[in-house]
Structure 1
């Protein structure tokens, strides 16, 4: 029996080794054509193909782990990887571009050409979705916040100023993509024009036509597509010019039946098929059962149709880049910020681990794919460990922090985006401090901020926190948060003279969907601030952006005695000293309250004890031999140590 089993194993291995790679199969005789939809099934270079794709966003994955994640996708039997392209990262300042060497804080994630090259070298085709709007549960759906500085700009329409910005960006981006098209010897087989435009409250077909013309004028010759929910009909596309795909999570027969009616005689494809779902803060961590996923995925494959799993690997909303939802109101009252983790209950976890859904995909694709090509063995897991607990070894008070920034005097309220900084591109992320100096405040005085806060607020007098700390998710209905209209707080029970009042406003993420068009942060024109009945008008505004250049120059740390950790916003430092045993890890923030974590100058992400996320993924490549500085900006109440975990933790207190 042993010899027979060994013989069959050797035969199977030899058979597998004799298989062509994906590129050998589709390009071995030269390339004459790309992805075709001129018949009821896809062909690539004249050969039948079913697209088995998975979404992985290069900007959500440590670049040092790109190949690990791509190889895992290919090892599952998938033949294509899909990615969005975020405008806000590639043009962080008006007219300044970064594709991996532009000097922005996210520079290391932005080597788009490197990602496309890696995908092809890992034997994968690529679908790119460059927007200009991408949604993606990403900050403002991928739009750069400096667009908000011009009141005339009307995004997602043919309005002239907006289109000038779009054309400038696309004229920079699209020549890069053109080099990597399949018919030019690269991996890109399809390019999406706009994104889920059928959901837009104002449909502008001239806008879509102008986008189409810009794309074609930049020598994009591969298949051009759109994606929408089936209920959108053809409102988000240009029939005859753009190939239509659908986004859905189940009931494939109904969805594809509708698509067949809209686009008869064409192949069927789900551009977004959801194996999991995203989390907002205060949610219970979303999961989809293996049984539901398997049944729904098999319904797609057996229909038969091509499909892109959104997400195959979710990754992380680094720094300040999480999106949010605003469903039916544009006044911020229904704001729901997304968590830093974009785990998505996907087949690969945030840290790249395999899940049971991965095995389901591998099994079903092998069963349904009639084209057999060589696939790699699934790579070993990336090593992780829980480092020892670290004591807090330094602190900076809120006044210490503000003293390291430069104020902007203003006779009126200015939003974050309107501040004259960053080459007049305004402030995109972080916190804005609105300061009044030399105030006399009588006992029982109240402070009122009209409208809805965007998004959280802390009130300090002479550097001491006056507003209440976050104690439960119910507090989001009280002063300090966006749900209240016309927030009021009592400042003092005794007379105060010549004091400094600080209003600290946090941008917790611009909405990526719903009624997301009006996304100014900080205090806006329609916010008025009253001390009792007197409106406060003259401000010193301090932008707290927590950029790398600022974080790496922090100094003057105060020593920490046992128990000497004050309440209120402040910075807290710990030092992780490593030799050469450096691996991925998670920072366990469950004993802290709310804030953000900075590692070696890079803002890793936001945390909040209200959950569901309790840990922050820290890739090993972000660490170095020797000392690693971990800084935490805590809003309310610090813990006494920085702790680590080998695995992610989700729970809702």
Structure 2
């Protein structure tokens, strides 16, 4: 036996409350009454001894506006799924040590899943990957620990234990033996792709059990021998992740586990996208054929992603290029559409219909009707951007304390997770013109010399141009997202080397950080010294405008023609990062973010606003979501 844990579960998840919306009524399968015994057997998941198949889909509660959870969950039911899976991002819920932000959101999501007639798989990490900043690990932990994370390091384990102690009550109270939807909890995530500390995995399993998790546990890894041997735990269900080749993948799993149900915990039906690079589309027919192959193997499946959503709040991660994931930094776009069957805006795609055809063959009965789409914005709205504050004044108003040291401070040393750091240093003189270099640049830097913009650079070892002394140099370094997968996980951000003039280190570097969420704190906008936008164009800074919505609000896309690189907020809700190089050209605006009448738009532009922004040109605009947007 792989995991002989048995618990009770409703024969079908039953709605926790009466559903009032038409699409929720259609999406809920009423239970047959009573409870049933859920178990992980030698070959199958079983309910009352009857083999059952988990037809699950990934949907991250933190990538979907809470007011839209019900609609998206109903879409999953209508596609033919009986279960939903979600990760839990530690860094979102504990931005500073001991400061917890709404871990109860997970509980509310699980309640919504049950109301939709879905079981639930919870993957609390502590590492999640997920194309999420730092793989979900808090920067305040990875900064001092570095590669000691995801091991038996005592300081790391203490932090994980404290976090799980705060989070897991949301899961424990909703386990299926108590009438809730949770049937499986995953320990760690793809650990075999990273490490080999079997004692760490065993500790995680023990802590999950000690903290009250009674449902079956599982691990998930790629279908390669070193991944399965490094990431599996004796006595815990092992699952595999892949996008095609089910028979080969399950054969690899069977080499390591002779028994236990077969499950693809991540069936990659699409892929993510990086800024400045093209998308990698996957045809609906090809994905549906791969899904069918999984099911023909007698396996359960978790479609990754069933609905991808959006990395709101600037939480999109990054990867390193190369076969060893140790090359150039590639930042992930804000959209997490993932070419999923339910697209970023909640609409069924061709993949949805092809998957529905396949899944219908394995359903207990007729599938629910597809929910009607949510409202979209009635008409385009053009923003009036009338105020701005230069970056230096925003930093003075909202930034952290300045630190002066021999070399530059990292983001972690300054307590900055997402955001930017200004580095200031003096080139002594008199001296001639020599190349100015930055070593260990982890992100993108806007370089100013004596108050004038000189260049924008990125790369680990960048030449900033020739500078004669004396001169005052500023580097505004903006985080492009933290690596979420591979050996560069937990690396520091900012400048980790130094600044050199010719071959001489420049000492006495002054560093000051500004967290992205500083603009979201109560009263923050009142402390920013806004002024009228005048003349042609504008520099880096925060711009404020108004979007006036006539009539009922609905889903929209925010277009930012001519704007280069930064973040956007509407009514205090951070839509995420925009970058001129694409391929993402608009930011998704969930309808619940908007209100009838005036809506406040904030743009934190890092590299300079478009020309004539104060005269109406380059104005951002809201547009109704349309097919293909």
Give the TM-score normalised by structure 2. Answer: 0.88
1:95 aligned onto 2:83 = no
Q: Distance in 1 between matches of 2:549 and 2:174?
A: 40
Q: Residue 268 and residue 631 in structure 1: after superposition, are their counterparts in 2 closer, same or farther (change >3 A)?
A: same
Whether the aligned pair in 2 keeps the contact of 1:551 and 1:601 (CA below 8 Å) is: no
1:503 aligned onto 2:510 = no
Map 1:242-641 onto structure 2 (within 5 A).
242-327=236-321, 333-369=327-363, 371-372=364-365, 375-385=367-377, 387-404=380-397, 405-412=399-406, 413-419=408-414, 426-436=415-425, 444-451=433-440, 453-468=441-456, 480-482=457-459, 484-485=460-461, 487-490=462-465, 500-524=472-496, 527-546=497-516, 547=518, 548-549=520-521, 551-561=524-534, 564-566=536-538, 568-639=539-610, 640-641=618-619
Whether the aligned pair in 1 keeps the contact of 2:561 and 2:619 (CA below 8 Å) is: no
Give the TM-score normalised by structure 1. Answer: 0.85
Q: Distance in 1 between matches of 2:230 and 2:29?
A: 33
Report the CA distance between 1:240 and its aligned residue: 3.8
Q: Which moved more, 1:642-651 or 1:590-599?
A: 642-651
Whether the aligned pair in 2 keeps the contact of 1:593 and 1:637 (CA below 8 Å) is: yes
Report the CA distance between 1:320 and its aligned residue: 2.2
Whether the aligned pair in 2 keeps the contact of 1:135 and 1:512 (CA below 8 Å) is: yes
Q: Residue 37 and residue 148 in structure 1: after superposition, are their counterparts in 2 closer, same or farther (change >3 A)?
A: closer
CA offsets, 1:578-633, max 9 Å, x none? 35521111111343222221222333211112111111111122223443221222
Q: Tell me the equivalent position of 1:39.
A: 42
Q: Distance in 2 between matches of 1:285 and 1:47?
A: 43
Q: Distance in 2 between matches of 1:401 and 1:462?
A: 19
Q: Residue 186 and residue 147 in structure 1: after superposition, are their counterparts in 2 closer, same or farther (change >3 A)?
A: same
Length, aligned pairs only: 591
CA offsets, 1:517-574, max 9 Å, x none? 34211122xx11123454322233221213202753354322234x5213x4222222
1:66 aligned counterpart, secondary structure: helix
Q: Which runs of 5+ in 1 are unaligned?
A: 1-18, 101-109, 420-425, 469-479
Q: Distance in 2 between matches of 1:22 and 1:602?
A: 34
CA offsets, 1:148-170, max 9 Å, x none? 34247711111111111111111
Whether the aligned pair in 2 keeps the contact of 1:180 and 1:188 (CA below 8 Å) is: yes
Q: Residue 232 and residue 643 in structure 1: after superposition, are their counterparts in 2 closer, same or farther (change >3 A)?
A: farther
Q: Distance in 2 between matches of 1:324 and 1:20?
A: 35
Whether the aligned pair in 2 keeps the contact of 1:417 and 1:428 (CA below 8 Å) is: yes
1:416 aligned counterpart, secondary structure: coil
Report the CA distance between 1:463 and its aligned residue: 3.9
Report the CA distance between 1:77 and its aligned residue: 1.6
Q: Which runs of 5+ in 2 are unaligned?
A: 1-25, 611-617
Q: Distance in 1 between matches of 2:570 and 2:203?
A: 43
Q: Residue 596 and residue 239 in structure 1: after superposition, are their counterparts in 2 closer, same or farther (change >3 A)?
A: closer
Report the CA distance between 1:49 and its aligned residue: 1.2
1:410 aligned counterpart, secondary structure: strand
Q: Tell me the equivalent position of 1:646.
A: 624
Equivalent residue in structure 1 for 2:219, among 215, 218, 226: 226
CA offsets, 1:51-85, max 9 Å, x none? 11100000000011011101111111210000001
Report the CA distance between 1:332 and its aligned residue: 6.5
